[in-house]
Structure 1
Amino acid sequence: MLKSLLATLCVASISLLVAAEPSAFGAGNLDSPNPYGLTSSEQNVLKNKHALKKVVLKSNNQANEVDSIRERIDGLQSIVESLSRKSQYNKRSLGLLEEKATKDLLNADEYEKRLGQSVELNSQLSEKNAQAIAKNLLLAQELSKLIDTINTTYVTKIEFNELVNSVNEFKSLVAKEFKSKTKLKTSSLDKMTNGEVADQAEAFYNKQYYTKGIEYYSHLITKNYKPANSHFMIGQMKFKRKNYSEAISYYKKSTSLYSKASYMPELLLHTAISMEKTNDKKNAKVFYNAILVKYPNSTEAKRAKENLLAL
């Protein structure tokens, strides 16, 4: 629209210039490079002509600048559209990345949570294992002390020899007693098998015929027939008669012959009680504790615990 206006102005101006009458000899020729002899009207026309040329030139320059600006605007619009498309793409990509990051964060939190739970569980298991190991180690140490005590104080060589001497003395007494008995009684034991004597000895024990029971079990000792059990049974009868010192000697001998017998909990309990009765409370505590460590679920363990608390 601006170009059309400028063109119209140019045409009108040129028409005016053509319509003006030139002076003689070129005076008043407005098309001359250096016009002269101009009237005031012609001078105004020339002045307007020059002004119009400047306006046209300026208008053309402005039109060119406008075109250049439009081209630039079109270019910028293309860039803006491209940037807009990229922005939309980046926005979608960013959304996907945020979604993935959120999922990764949730997964990381869940992993960290499970890892923490696993570490805590392992810590608890380790603590329990450590406690179990410490407890077993303590039991092992106590059992080791018990074994050392048994080996050093319970069945020493001197005590063993004393026990042998006691047995020999007892055998002598029994032998003398046998001599005072009728030959029929002596021969009756010799004619019986060891198994028959053992059955009869057990029957005497059950009936609380301890004198006969001791006689029969002593006979089995001389025949070396289940000597550990025979010593234990004599120790039981001595214990029931409250002959605690003699009972301890027979219990010691029984243990030295066979320490894995089924009656060991009872033997240890009666040994501890016998020691307590003879004022040997120190060793009595040792044997009570031995029962608790080695046979914690036995009936004797309950009695041992009660007696320990009473000491």
Structure 2
Amino acid sequence: MKRLSLLLAGALLLQLQASEPSVFGAGNLDSDSPYGLTESEKKIVENRQNLKNTKRKSQENSAQLQSLRERIDGLQTIIEGLAEKTQENKLKVTELTSGEDIGAQRDAKIAALEEAVRADEANIASLKSLLESMATQVDAINANYVSKDEFNALVGEINAFKRDLGKTLKSVSAPAAGASLESKSSKELAAEAKASYNKLYFKDAIPMYEELIRRNYKPAYAHFMIGEMWHYRKEWSKALSYFKESAARSSKTSFMPTLMLHSAECMMHTGDSANAKKFLRSLIAKYPASGEAAEAERLLNTL
């Protein structure tokens, strides 16, 4: 009986031990469910959770802002095309009106062109309204953003685009600026190129950076910036060619982590997964503390 009692007591002790967390795990901050913490340790766990929440919100906001940026760029391209078409039709109307030909056929052509101009101008107005709505979304994200500094540059670019939206038609219908580029100093041209890039006026910025490359003025950076613009427009092969040339010009630049990450993305989209993996692993090894390295880790998990 005494032996049986000891066995029962032992079994009960084992059951109690199995139903409770081990005392040796108390204070383990690496546990998924830490327990037995001091007040200081509780604060550490709380701060860790806050950091996780901040990182998640930052990633969500980053994705939303990137999506808005791509949509703004696409809509601006459409507006540019419509504005060019409108300007061409207006010139045709002027030519027909001032010409010597008369008759119903000429009048019909003029009426059709004027109708096309009205339709395109209405479409432009509608797109401008949509862009204003998207800018409002950006403002809302910015107002509730827990880490504003990290995305200040991006928000500034979109806000600048919103302020200058009314100038789009004027800039599109203006004469080609190619001839005037040579009259500017390299420093002035570089500043204008960056300002156009910040406003997402890639159509203006690309020839400026090409002129800077021709002058051999900071060619590594100029190639990188053109690559960035083609990357944003998802022209993967074009972007990769500029990224390669930029890296060949200089391997020690502040933008190298971004260049490597975006080069890998271009390779992924062009089917070169093997080299994309090499770039991502190299990025992680060379710049382990960078935000690009964290994104590289995520992309590696998808390959």
Normalised TM-score (structure 1): 0.41
Structure with the largest fraction of helix = 1
Which structure has more relative contact order (CA 8 Å, sep 6+)? It is 2
Decide which structure has the larger Cα Rg and report it: 1
